[in-house]
Amino acid sequence: MSTDKISIDWYNQNYKQYTAHVRNPDDSIYHSLYEKPAMYSLLPNLKNMSVISLGCGSGEDCNYLAQQGAKQITGIDISTNMIKMAKKTYPMYQFQVMNMENLVFENQSFDFVYSSLAIHYIEDWTKVFKEVYRILKPNSYFLFSCNHPVSAAMEVIHDNEQIHSREISYSKNKHTNEVLIKGDYMTRKTLPREANFAITTWHKPIGEISQEATNAGFVIANIVEPKPLPKMEQISEQNFTILNKIPWFIILKLLKQ
């Protein structure tokens, strides 16, 4: 299944709020103090390179890639309004409305493909990996981040109004042998939508992710499970503690040899 209409509509309707959120680093700490520093630390040398960001949103990552020396910068996104926002803010880059499963670019047209927190809107990543492999030049990288399979495997439990917990566990009654399982790591599934963030993302185990990537021809160069920057502790001690124990996002760097 491709990105569903509910998610596309959500970004089209909430593009202003979403953009304001990502452009305020004190608000979007899971980006600014967690995912982005880790992604940026894994960038190859981009001097004079042609790069593309898949699911580029309002274009901030494209601007960062340009600041690292990339020469030709393209961003694509399935949401028309996110692309409008990106074009308005960064008219110097190329932005197009496009589904990352069908990239309308020539074979071997990019030196680097980047994608931050967007691929997990799609169920099967085979098409994306094949497309990215096709548009990449040899000896080039595809760097992407997504929900960490461990965080996504947890069951969301609302015990009462106050407590929101996420669990992956099993317990066994010593007398009856009855087993109680919470969460599910091994099964591919959509995650429950949150009231204020009505999007559909997909969970799958790391073995399936790795299989889909290598089937397309990629070699896995690196897998990174980020840690929050120390600054997060001053802004949100709770999130800092959680992210030091439970991974929220994962990053893969794939090589087309």
Ligand X SMILES: C[S@@+](CC[C@H](N)C(=O)[O-])C[C@H]1O[C@@H](n2cnc3c(N)ncnc32)[C@H](O)[C@@H]1O
Give me the least distance between CB of 85 and ligand X, in Å please.
9
Paired strand residues for 110: 136
Angle, in degrees to the nearest 10, between helices 126-135 and 206-215? 40
Cβ closest to ligand X, residue 113 vs residue 179? 113
CA 169/CA 112 separation, integer angstroms: 39
**CA atoms 93, 97, 103, 105: torsion sign:** negative
Contact window for ligand X (CB under 6 A) among 53-61, 149-157, 177-185, 236-244: 53-61
Contact window for ligand X (CB under 6 A) among 44-52, 115-123, 206-214, 228-236: 115-123
Among 14, 33, 49, 55, binds ligand X (CB under 6 A): 55
Give me the count of residues in the chain. 257
Residue 166 burial (10 A CB sphere; 0-12, 13-18, 19+): middle
Among 29, 38, 70, 122, binds ligand X (CB under 6 A): 122
CA 170/CA 152 separation, integer angstroms: 16
Instruction: Write the DSSP string, 12-36.
Output: HHHHHHHHHHHT-TTT-HHIIIIIH
Give me the least distance between CB of 62 and ligand X, in Å please.
9
CA 113/CA 37 separation, integer angstroms: 17
Give the CA-trace dihedral at 218, 222, 223, 224, to 10 degrees: -150
What the block records as the tokens of 54 is 């898949």
Among 29, 51, 57, 133, binds ligand X (CB under 6 A): 57
Site string for ligand X, 10-29 (x = CB under 6 A): -x----------x-------
Q: Rule CB under 6 A: is residue 131 a binding residue for ligand X?
A: no
Among 14, 63, 116, 140, binds ligand X (CB under 6 A): 116
Q: Rule CB under 6 A: is residue 100 a binding residue for ligand X?
A: yes
CA 22/CA 117 separation, integer angstroms: 12
Nearest to 114 by CA among 156, 76, 67: 76
Cβ closest to ligand X, residue 99 vs residue 140? 99
Contact window for ligand X (CB under 6 A) among 116-124, 152-160, 167-175, 177-185: 116-124
Give me the least distance between CB of 131 and ligand X, in Å please.
10
Q: Rule CB under 6 A: is residue 61 a binding residue for ligand X?
A: yes
Among 38, 43, 51, 78, binds ligand X (CB under 6 A): 78
Q: Give the footprint of ligand X on this chain (CB under 6 A).
A: 2-3, 11, 22, 54-57, 60-61, 76-79, 82, 99-101, 116-118, 121-122
